[in-house]
Structure 1
Amino acid sequence: MASNTGERRGIKATKTTFDIIETIHERGHIRLVELANEVGIANSTAFDHLATLKELGYVVEDDDGFRLGLKLLDHGMQAKYHYRELHEAAKPVLEQLVNETDEAVNLVVEEHDYAVYIARLTGDRGVPTNSWVGKRKQIHTLSAGKAILAHLPDERVDDLTRRTGLVGVTDDTITAQDELKDELADIRQRGVAFNNRESHESIRAVGAPIILNDTVHGAVSVAGPARRLTGEYFRTEIPDLLLGAVNEIELKLAYQ
């Protein structure tokens, strides 16, 4: 029994450490008392965790408080290396897609039930958003995320959405399981997924899955201002370009 209790304490301590890291990540800089309050721990506990993280190189202390250290960048680059073949196959295709659309173009994968950006390029007309390489988002809110979900087994989708919940990010986000299933069936039929202001009130996007040997490896999306992505441009022109792009990526992966 003692060892089990110890394991639970160890797991809780690990969770606290990562709560601290994620809080610093969200805030950029934060002071000790603020951090302790946000994480919900004593100042002394926060100090002990921060002292260890500083010693190991994961946190830096300066005049503005605590920030994340570059050692985490090393780990992030190693994590991204797992997707190197997909990234290498997609990179020239994404660049061409940016040239053709002048919008923001994203390469997205699913990991731990979330959509994660592993590449992002922006054309001259592309607008800045709250998305960047490494950013995780609710998978059902994104065109690329829905394109991935549409090609996962039904049981996997059910388990995933049960764990994460169909959280409403905007008034247009799908939050009902039956509605999502109907949407995924439509995506499988037409080949592309649409994000109609579902992740941000001012953004629309089109996504298409990258499928090889009946397995979905990720998805590519083109995103832009909702007032510009309208009509045939949104419903036909971008989807046609996108389907050609993902087909090229699939061929590159097949013959790498």
Structure 2
Amino acid sequence: MAEFVATEIRDAVAIVRIERAARRNALNLQVKTELIAALQAACADPAVAAIVLTGSGGYFVAGTDIGEMATLSPTDHQRLDTDRVFHVVRQSPKPVIAAVEGYALGGGCELALACDLIVAAEDARFGQPEIRVGIMPGAGGTQRLLRAAGRYKALLWTLTGDHIPAGDAYAANLVSRLVPPGDALEEAVRIAAQIATMPPLAVQAIREAMRLGADVPLETALSLERRLFERLFDSADQREGMQAFLDKRAPRYIGR
């Protein structure tokens, strides 16, 4: 039985919630292990089409648990696979949306950045303050910020450790949508539910094109996109979607 992570299913959306509010949902090894199990269960559930990741108590994740991390050696990090949860989020076969209230700092910011989309409250704060405790981001922070916001913003934020107001994060393409405080979860669920109505094979293909195309030459990315596009014409969902459009009715997708 998980102590710090709970899952709620709303129709085709799994809401995975970190519940360690007394520590502002800080990520320790137990939370990471429970989070991995919850995400893997949601991915394996055929009734789930999209996942929303959030926190409790008005916070997303205020960071990695420094009290635990302070004593870890390089070998401990490798042996305990302390960054595995970020890989699980990034490699999820189903879309993952972060619903951010309060703080998403350090490992919490990296956890949000590992998701496909980020919905954030207008008063939320992001940041990579690792430099202030003698280290640096180690689970995607420098590279995600670099690719989304560019070198000059990424260096400013990681070298100072300053918080990034949600409005600035939105302007720098780190946030998909801004909402009033308290509304992040419901908006994330609404978007997830909308994605859940889309043809699953097309959703997978778009995510694959975005993920693999981001870091290759444009011509390579365009070729990948074209192959994925063509492959969808072998699917029943392509035929159903186009016929439904012609018939002026709602499509019924089956993921084949």
For Structure 1 versus Structure 2, the TM-score category normalised by the shorter chain is under 0.3
TM-score by length of 2: 0.25
- The structure whose residues are more often strand, as a share, is 1
* Rg comparison, structure with higher value: 1
Normalising by structure 1, what TM-score?
Answer: 0.25
